[in-house]
Amino acid sequence: MMQKPKTHIFVCTSSRVGGPQKGFCHSKGGVEIMATLLEEIEDRGLSGQVTVTNTGCFGICEKGPVVVVYPDNVWYGAVTVDDVEEIVDEHIQGGKVVGRLVL
């Protein structure tokens, strides 16, 4: 069996199946959130344990930008680039969900 990531973080970048990404999370910084998250994970040497994946729409655009953490099953909303460090510090490394962002 393959080595699964300990934590898998999904970031909505409004990727569409039929064409280029377009939508709420994309317009509100989804791509920058994704890039910042990847950078924080790499900087801390967590790439082997944490996978970050961009996604299409989660269907809750009014709550975006959306970041979902599995298998923890924690859904964050209205995430900004400035929240990324706290999510990594508190949740991914500290094991404590960032309550103020939870949906």
Helix (H, G, I), strand (E, B) or coil at 20: coil
| Token representation of residue 90 | 């508190």
- Window of 7-15, 81-89, 90-98 that interacts with a copy of itself by CB under 8 A: 7-15
Q: In the stretch 8-47, what mask flags binding to a copy of itself with x, by CB under 8 A?
A: x-x--x-xxx-xxx---------x--xx------------
Cα(56)–Cα(29) distance, rounded to whole angstroms? 14
Q: What's the min distance (Å) between Cβ of 22 and a copy of itself?
A: 11
Q: List, as one string, the DSSP characters of 8-61.
A: EEEEE---BTTBS--SHHHHTTHHHHHHHHHHHHHHTT-TTTEEEEEE---S-G
**Which residue, 53 or 80, has its beta carbon nearer to a copy of itself?**
53
Contact residues for a copy of itself, defined by CB under 8 A? 1-2, 4, 8, 10, 13, 15-17, 19-21, 31, 34-35, 51, 53-60, 63, 68, 70-71, 73, 75, 102-103
